[in-house]
């Protein structure tokens, strides 16, 4: 159960990453470079968090944690 919840959270974070990167493209199109760069940093942070949650879910399944 715990690994399923972690995978759902990871999926939500990956979806948020896609939204942040889409917004980044819009900001760069409007020539708002500072906001675009900040969005890229937040997007990369969300990717990193999602990867870590996925890793925890996989490790939990391998160890047999419910």
Which residue, among 63, 61, 62, has the nearest Cα to 2 in the 3D structure?
Answer: 61
Q: How far is CA 10 from CA 17, 22, 26, in A?
A: 10, 19, 25
Q: What local confidence, expressed as pLDDT, does residue 31 receive?
A: 94
Terminal CA-CA length for the chain: 5
Q: Using one digit for the tens of pLDDT, what is the confidence trace for 2-46?
A: 778 888 888 888 888 888 889 999 999 999 999 999 989 988 998
Q: Are 7 and 58 in contact (CB under 8 A)?
A: no
Say if residue 65's pLDDT is above 60. no
Q: What local confidence, expressed as pLDDT, does residue 56 receive?
A: 85
- Does this model's pTM top 0.95? My answer is no
């Amino acid at each position: 159960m715990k690994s399923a919840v972690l995978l759902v959270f990871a999926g939500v974070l990956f979806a948020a990453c896609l939204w942040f990167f889409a917004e980044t493209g819009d900001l760069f199109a409007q020539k708002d470079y500072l906001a675009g760069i900040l969005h890229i940093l937040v997007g990369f942070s969300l990717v990193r968090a999602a990867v870590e949650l996925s890793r925890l879910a996989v490790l939990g399944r391998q160890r047999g944690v419910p």
